[in-house]
Structure 1
């Protein structure tokens, strides 16, 4: 097949997608917002990094991506149609129309590439080889491709046979797409089924489907019925690239943040976490409190070495008994910053997204929590039983406590010091995350959930110590205790607030 025929396939695929988006997708703007936010969180986008969008069509996703990236990233948006979208004024967007590929992009490279519904069985090898050449070493590519196993798509194609509206696309399955991407030279390939919000759609149906998506996307074999395949891959770096830019933007946070990190057998993760914190948020940091919870590996040795190298490191070495709740409480006890950022060792990949949490703090929020189950988050390879347990707990918590929230039990929280001082923490294990999320809400503090995306631990990051059945009872004890305090107006819940003269505030 010649280059002209291969390019024709790209044009046809782009036209087909544009027609579907504008004629048949009633929630297009919301869907593109989800995808833009997912892309930003999945690649951990940094200011100034360049983005190439292939097959931009009318530019609706381009503009959404420009907004979600806070207008901090140059975007080159390519259409294979003759008509070029109008470029917004004072933006970093450049629209191009290509009559050949890569054409004028030849010898250019980008930090990230986003592609939607362009990879076809007839052009995959040629197309992916060119995409690979357009990435910088270490660059990342994200694909959203239609899932050929989607039952609605199958049903529509069957009915179209009787009306001469044949879908000429030759879609690749998830395994075929993954194999093609690997054969093109990409590494760290992750392909998951994504998005169960598809026709027939109604306003109420969208709400239910969006909430069910998180469950169904992580439930095999039901996940294979999703509407799309989300694939993320990387071009192998020539050398290890360390972050080198500060993300500090708020003078009011200068030297104000104590970071509390419970560590149990985390020798592989601590150094990269500390390096990232110092690089991205060094101006904000008051101290980094590394709490070694009786590790069996070389965690203590690594912490001691870091403490010698960086004056901001404040080590805490616990004695038995173990417990992440005990470790967090010990870390809180010695923290002296205006704000306390609580996080796990394996959160180093989420560091660019902490900007959103700090932004919430400077807007007057008392507690900012990273929410994994926001409608603008994505969960990749997340254990289904943990999703069920999390959603079940939050459903009952909302019902019992009479409050609205989605995910308050993640140990990624930025809390004002005075709020921490007023908490009455009792749990010794992971259930402390429920206390630190729910207690401030019931006490009347301003709590804000900030969307984050979550990729489950990979082999090089160690093994999580979270045991669902072992720690589950603690969560229910927390819920019961808070319900008793709420129902019987137990004034002992607020003594610290009364004594310190801290006034209760209402949530916005």
Structure 2
């Protein structure tokens, strides 16, 4: 009897959400595509991992989920509604109608589960317990739940009192959502405010609000007014042995990639980075260049050990002075592959997403950049000051260079060796990333940005570690000198580089 009451709550929530998507959300396809991409990035989805979508309704989100997973993952889409006639049966997805829960799913286990607007205070503990049993050990669950602090939602509740309408949902706030998952045995729980692209909204204003949303989602106090709460949690154990699979699909890239990694006090990150690179992309790799930038911990010894264990690891030991720009330049000089992939030491969780960059390279792009601020990127728990600095720099750079781009200053770049050989890199710190992003574009090379995730990269990810104000001058110097070169053919700073007019950079 209790189960029947709880199922009725799930049916009501699913039906309410379906009505809202179809009747009141003018950008539902874009919104669900964003959420599907977020799901892919948050779980770092690998081919073959199973997915369960709970409360699929007519399959609006299912279509986007299948799209971003590239048909590589078995998807089960379950609805609690008795009659759903609009599901696209042509999709290679298993659609299931549940009259009880877990019901016919009882004997199954899934690597990933996605739930949207079903978690209700009335059945919270029971619902989470069922989800917990359906997950594989170490499996992940993603929730998108309406935020009860949303001012538009609260205004609508006041209006409904005068019209006689009621919102039967009993929504949980962020702290209650986290507590309920903790009490149900989940670990590594992250609950963040998400999505300021909500009513009153028109399709014409969506991209302005989407860009603004990135700022507001990471701004203290204001972020609590977002339209949704995004929860990511894991079933124990925390350490999961990932499948050893090759993600190399392009014959053109076999043995062509040199990976350059600047390392400063990174002894804990090196082993997992190298082993996962070799596991996922070993066929692509020409070499892995690990550049020790005068570390004070055991980084140098770890690099030496890795070089002795893996023939593809090429160590580079720098002498003072330090500087990430100097380390990247030395790594580039040592690299001999057809393509050079530069990345940071703590990017091991992003490795499945590198496939998008390799896909772009084989399409003929000379430079492929992992964009944190693409329309399909996932940016969570990012310091607000760094967002403002990044967006301010790129806004001015787009204006004075008269080009369209979103985020060219990330160190995650895949560049043809011949392009690097034609660059004159001068910056000794983080500003080298502005040079490697802006200069190829202005020289006429084909540049492509692909979305990546950037999710609370490290506990000490704050502004102080980036030394925002100290290194900021280097970025402005790069921009100023490129502006002089482009508009006045200045021979200073980059005397041998020819900048020319090219087509607009294609944006994702």
- The match for 1:20 is 20
The runs of 4+ residues in structure 1 deviating greater than 3 Å are 84-92, 458-465, 490-498, 503-508
Give the Å deviation of 1:375.
1.2
1:266-281 to 2 correspondences below 5 Å: 266-281=266-281
Confirm or deny: 8 A CA contact 2:186 2:234 kept in the other structure: yes
- The match for 1:345 is 345
- The match for 1:36 is 36
Q: Which stretch shifts more, 212-221 or 91-100?
A: 91-100
Stretches of structure 2 that go unaligned for 5 or more consecutive residues are none
SS at match of 2:137: strand
1:47-196 to 2 correspondences below 5 Å: 47-84=47-84, 88=88, 91-196=91-196
Is 1:466 paired with 2:459? no
1:452-463 to 2 correspondences below 5 Å: 452-459=452-459
Say if 1:494 and 1:359 are closer, same or farther in 2 by CA, change over 3 A.
farther
| Cα distance in structure 1, aligned partners of 2:201 and 2:226 | 14
Give the Å deviation of 1:400.
0.9
| Cα distance in structure 2, aligned partners of 1:348 and 1:123 | 37
Confirm or deny: 8 A CA contact 1:266 1:462 kept in the other structure: no
- The match for 1:495 is 496
Give the Å deviation of 1:465.
3.9
Is 1:404 paired with 2:432? no
| Cα distance in structure 2, aligned partners of 1:25 and 1:313 | 51
| Cα distance in structure 1, aligned partners of 2:464 and 2:354 | 22
Confirm or deny: 8 A CA contact 1:368 1:449 kept in the other structure: yes
Confirm or deny: 8 A CA contact 1:269 1:461 kept in the other structure: no
Give the Å deviation of 1:163.
1.0
- The match for 1:329 is 329
Per-residue CA deviations over 1:298-319 (Å, capped at 9, x if unaligned) read 1011100000000000000000
Give the Å deviation of 1:395.
0.4
| Cα distance in structure 2, aligned partners of 1:53 and 1:220 | 32
Say if 1:104 and 1:89 are closer, same or farther in 2 by CA, change over 3 A.
closer
Give the Å deviation of 1:466.
1.8
Say if 1:90 and 1:491 are closer, same or farther in 2 by CA, change over 3 A.
farther
1:410-489 to 2 correspondences below 5 Å: 410-459=410-459, 465-489=465-489
Give the Å deviation of 1:242.
3.6
Say if 1:346 and 1:238 are closer, same or farther in 2 by CA, change over 3 A.
closer
Give the Å deviation of 1:491.
6.1
Give the Å deviation of 1:402.
0.5
| Cα distance in structure 1, aligned partners of 2:204 and 2:240 | 48
Stretches of structure 1 that go unaligned for 5 or more consecutive residues are none
| Cα distance in structure 2, aligned partners of 1:476 and 1:461 | 22
| Cα distance in structure 2, aligned partners of 1:26 and 1:462 | 37
- The match for 1:205 is 205
Per-residue CA deviations over 1:100-148 (Å, capped at 9, x if unaligned) read 0000000210000000000000000000000011000111000000000
Per-residue CA deviations over 1:444-466 (Å, capped at 9, x if unaligned) read 11100000111123449999842
| Cα distance in structure 2, aligned partners of 1:327 and 1:121 | 53
| Cα distance in structure 2, aligned partners of 1:235 and 1:268 | 24
Confirm or deny: 8 A CA contact 2:383 2:463 kept in the other structure: no
SS at match of 2:267: coil
SS at match of 1:274: helix
Confirm or deny: 8 A CA contact 1:457 1:463 kept in the other structure: no
- The match for 2:5 is 5
| Cα distance in structure 1, aligned partners of 2:69 and 2:333 | 37
Per-residue CA deviations over 1:154-188 (Å, capped at 9, x if unaligned) read 00011001112100100000000011011111100
Give the Å deviation of 1:468.
0.9
Confirm or deny: 8 A CA contact 2:49 2:73 kept in the other structure: yes
Give the Å deviation of 1:417.
0.4
- The match for 2:358 is 358
Say if 1:238 and 1:259 are closer, same or farther in 2 by CA, change over 3 A.
closer
Give the Å deviation of 1:398.
0.5
Give the Å deviation of 1:240.
3.9
Give the Å deviation of 1:209.
0.9
TM-score, scaled relative to structure 1: 0.96
Q: Cα RMSD between the aligned structures? A: 1.9
| Cα distance in structure 1, aligned partners of 2:368 and 2:466 | 23
- The match for 2:374 is 374
| Cα distance in structure 2, aligned partners of 1:376 and 1:238 | 28
Per-residue CA deviations over 1:221-261 (Å, capped at 9, x if unaligned) read 00000000000011112864144001000000000000000
SS at match of 1:346: coil
Aligned residues: 504
Say if 1:220 and 1:128 are closer, same or farther in 2 by CA, change over 3 A.
same
TM-score, scaled relative to structure 2: 0.96
- The match for 1:394 is 394
